Amino acid sequence: MGEKEPIRVMIVDDHKVVRSGLSAFLMAYDDLQLVAEADSGEKAVTLCHEYQPDVILMDLVMPKMNGAEATQAVLGVCPNTKVIALTSFKDEALVQGVLKAGAIGYLLKDVDAEDLAAAIRQAKAGKPTLAPEAAQVLIQASRKPYKPGIDLTEREKEVLGLLVNGLTNPEIAEQLYVSKSTVKFHVSSILNKLQVSSRTEAVAKALQENLLPDANQD
């Protein structure tokens, strides 16, 4: 009998140093093979179609197309590929968003090398792997009564307040001294947490639920 084919892995991360580290990690295992690297969600979709990887290690916070959006898009063209979210964040909206998009795993970037290799093998076999921190986030979310906006971060409340005041993404970026892609990420997270599909709905819900009491004192 011949040897089993190695598991074909693609790395998606907008930071070159992270991609380099993961590439070196994969080289240490005979049963794992790096077939492609992408520095954006858009490129991930193209390369997935071209290389048909078994497993993708997907960063979540990327400009333009975030990890959840990229996961959904990738699985649209490569339904047999398994996606593991690999991130530094354990935010409830990120965990729920990427799992809803179809990811089979969620791990933090400080994961042990052996655990990551095991998760890749598990994913190839169709078995999910969740970091304990991510599992805890989901458990806590299932226990607490949901109130729209209760999990907004201080920065997201700040962005939401500027949305209520009618500012555009470029104007918000300029006021907060951040990039437009960062603002887009915050707006996307706000829409997800408020369970709405547009900026207009987000503003309406913010006013309706009195999520920004200070904003109404002008």
Domain limits, the chain: 7-142, 154-212
So what's the architecture of 154-212 in CATH? Orthogonal Bundle (1.10)
Task: Give the pLDDT confidence score for residue 116 in this predicted structure.
Answer: 96
pLDDT along the chain (218 residues), means of 10: 82 95 95 96 94 96 88 93 91 84 92 95 94 82 67 89 93 92 91 88 87 59
User: What's the pTM?
Assistant: 0.66
Q: Is-contact 56 81, C-beta < 8 A?
A: yes
Q: Which CATH number fits domain 7-142: 3.30.420.40, 3.40.50.2300, 3.30.470.20, 3.10.20.30?
A: 3.40.50.2300
Write the DSSP string, 67-93: HHHHHHHHHHH-TT-EEEEEES---HH
Task: Give the pLDDT confidence score for residue 78 in this predicted structure.
Answer: 94
Task: Give the pLDDT confidence score for residue 217 in this predicted structure.
Answer: 40
Task: Give the pLDDT confidence score for residue 214 in this predicted structure.
Answer: 63
Task: Give the pLDDT confidence score for residue 146 in this predicted structure.
Answer: 60
Task: Give the pLDDT confidence score for residue 218 in this predicted structure.
Answer: 39
Of 69, 97, 102, residue with least CA distance to 84: 102
